[in-house]
Protein backbone atom coordinates (compact mmCIF):
# COMPACT_ATOMS: atom_id res chain seq x y z
CA UNK A 1 0.00 0.00 0.00
CA UNK A 2 1.39 3.44 -0.86
CA UNK A 3 2.64 5.38 2.11
CA UNK A 4 -0.08 8.07 1.89
CA UNK A 5 -2.87 5.52 1.81
CA UNK A 6 -1.39 3.73 4.79
CA UNK A 7 -1.21 7.03 6.69
CA UNK A 8 -4.83 7.77 5.78
CA UNK A 9 -5.89 4.31 6.94
CA UNK A 10 -4.09 4.86 10.24
CA UNK A 11 -5.77 8.24 10.60
CA UNK A 12 -9.19 6.72 9.92
CA UNK A 13 -8.53 4.02 12.50
CA UNK A 14 -7.44 6.62 15.04
CA UNK A 15 -10.55 8.71 14.35
CA UNK A 16 -12.77 5.65 14.76
CA UNK A 17 -11.08 4.77 18.07
CA UNK A 18 -11.39 8.37 19.28
CA UNK A 19 -15.08 8.28 18.40
CA UNK A 20 -15.57 4.99 20.21
CA UNK A 21 -13.79 6.13 23.36
CA UNK A 22 -15.07 9.56 24.36
CA UNK A 23 -12.27 11.24 26.26
CA UNK A 24 -12.85 13.02 29.54
CA UNK A 25 -12.52 16.80 29.34
CA UNK A 26 -9.35 18.46 30.60
CA UNK A 27 -9.64 18.96 34.34
CA UNK A 28 -11.91 15.95 34.79
CA UNK A 29 -10.86 13.12 37.03
CA UNK A 30 -11.23 9.80 35.24
CA UNK A 31 -11.96 6.51 36.98
CA UNK A 32 -11.90 3.32 34.97
CA UNK A 33 -14.05 0.31 35.74
CA UNK A 34 -12.36 -2.85 34.56
CA UNK A 35 -11.84 -6.41 35.73
CA UNK A 36 -14.29 -5.94 38.62
CA UNK A 37 -12.51 -2.94 40.08
CA UNK A 38 -12.52 0.83 40.15
CA UNK A 39 -9.15 2.31 39.19
CA UNK A 40 -7.94 4.29 40.98
CA UNK A 41 -10.02 2.98 43.87
CA UNK A 42 -9.45 6.18 45.85
CA UNK A 43 -9.17 9.67 44.44
CA UNK A 44 -8.74 12.96 46.27
CA UNK A 45 -10.00 16.00 44.40
CA UNK A 46 -10.72 19.67 45.07
CA UNK A 47 -14.37 20.73 45.40
CA UNK A 48 -15.94 21.44 42.04
CA UNK A 49 -14.20 18.55 40.28
CA UNK A 50 -16.09 16.65 37.61
CA UNK A 51 -15.41 12.93 38.09
CA UNK A 52 -16.10 10.58 35.18
CA UNK A 53 -16.40 6.80 35.46
CA UNK A 54 -16.01 4.72 32.31
CA UNK A 55 -16.87 1.04 32.18
CA UNK A 56 -14.14 -0.81 30.29
CA UNK A 57 -15.29 -4.20 31.51
CA UNK A 58 -17.31 -6.49 29.29
CA UNK A 59 -20.13 -6.77 31.82
CA UNK A 60 -22.36 -4.09 33.37
CA UNK A 61 -21.45 -2.28 36.57
CA UNK A 62 -22.94 0.58 38.55
CA UNK A 63 -21.56 3.49 40.53
CA UNK A 64 -23.62 3.66 43.74
CA UNK A 65 -22.69 5.63 46.84
CA UNK A 66 -23.25 4.44 50.40
CA UNK A 67 -24.95 7.65 51.58
CA UNK A 68 -28.74 8.13 51.76
CA UNK A 69 -30.06 9.81 49.76
CA UNK A 70 -27.42 8.55 47.37
CA UNK A 71 -25.08 11.12 45.86
CA UNK A 72 -24.07 8.58 43.22
CA UNK A 73 -26.68 6.38 41.64
CA UNK A 74 -25.93 5.24 38.11
CA UNK A 75 -27.99 2.85 36.10
CA UNK A 76 -26.09 -0.27 34.98
CA UNK A 77 -23.27 0.89 32.70
CA UNK A 78 -22.60 -1.25 29.67
CA UNK A 79 -19.17 -1.49 28.11
CA UNK A 80 -18.02 2.00 27.14
CA UNK A 81 -20.78 3.76 29.06
CA UNK A 82 -19.92 6.66 31.31
CA UNK A 83 -21.32 8.16 34.48
CA UNK A 84 -20.22 11.45 35.95
CA UNK A 85 -20.74 13.71 38.91
CA UNK A 86 -19.50 17.15 39.85
CA UNK A 87 -18.55 17.14 43.54
CA UNK A 88 -19.21 20.57 45.01
CA UNK A 89 -19.35 19.62 48.70
CA UNK A 90 -16.24 18.53 50.59
CA UNK A 91 -16.55 15.10 52.16
CA UNK A 92 -15.70 11.44 51.77
CA UNK A 93 -17.92 9.62 49.32
CA UNK A 94 -17.70 5.84 49.54
CA UNK A 95 -19.28 3.94 46.68
CA UNK A 96 -19.66 0.44 45.31
CA UNK A 97 -21.15 -1.50 42.42
CA UNK A 98 -24.70 -2.53 43.30
CA UNK A 99 -24.34 -5.61 41.08
CA UNK A 100 -21.04 -6.68 42.66
CA UNK A 101 -20.90 -5.07 46.12
CA UNK A 102 -17.33 -6.22 46.70
CA UNK A 103 -16.29 -3.60 44.12
CA UNK A 104 -15.64 -0.48 46.16
CA UNK A 105 -14.17 2.97 45.74
CA UNK A 106 -13.87 6.31 47.48
CA UNK A 107 -13.90 9.89 46.31
CA UNK A 108 -12.47 12.34 48.83
CA UNK A 109 -13.50 15.93 48.08
CA UNK A 110 -11.45 18.66 49.78
CU1 LIG B 1 -20.11 -4.53 39.05
User: What is the share, in percent, of the chain residues with pLDDT greater than 90?
Assistant: 75
| Burial of residue 9, with CB atoms counted within 10 A of its CB: 0-12 exposed, 13-18 middle, 19 or more buried | exposed
Q: Which CATH architecture has domain 24-109?
A: Sandwich (2.60)
Average pLDDT, stretch 30-45? 98
Q: How far is the CA of 10 from the centre of ligand 1 (A)?
A: 34
pTM for the predicted model, two decimal places: 0.78
- Has residue 28 got a pLDDT over 70? yes
CA 92 / ligand 1 centre spacing (Å):
21
Give the distance (Å) from ligand 1 centre to CA of residue 109. Answer: 23
Ligand 1 center to 103 CA (angstroms): 6
CA-based angle 20:23:24, to the nearest 5? 145
What's the gap in Å between 49 CA and the centre of ligand 1? 24
Average pLDDT over residues 29-49: 98
Domain boundaries, the chain: 24-109
pLDDT for res 27: 82
**pLDDT tens digits, one per residue of 49-94:** 999 999 999 999 999 999 999 999 999 999 999 999 999 999 999 9
Amino acid sequence: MPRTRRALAALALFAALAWLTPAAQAGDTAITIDNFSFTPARVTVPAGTHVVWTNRDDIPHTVTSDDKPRTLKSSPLDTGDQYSMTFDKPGTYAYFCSLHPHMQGTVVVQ
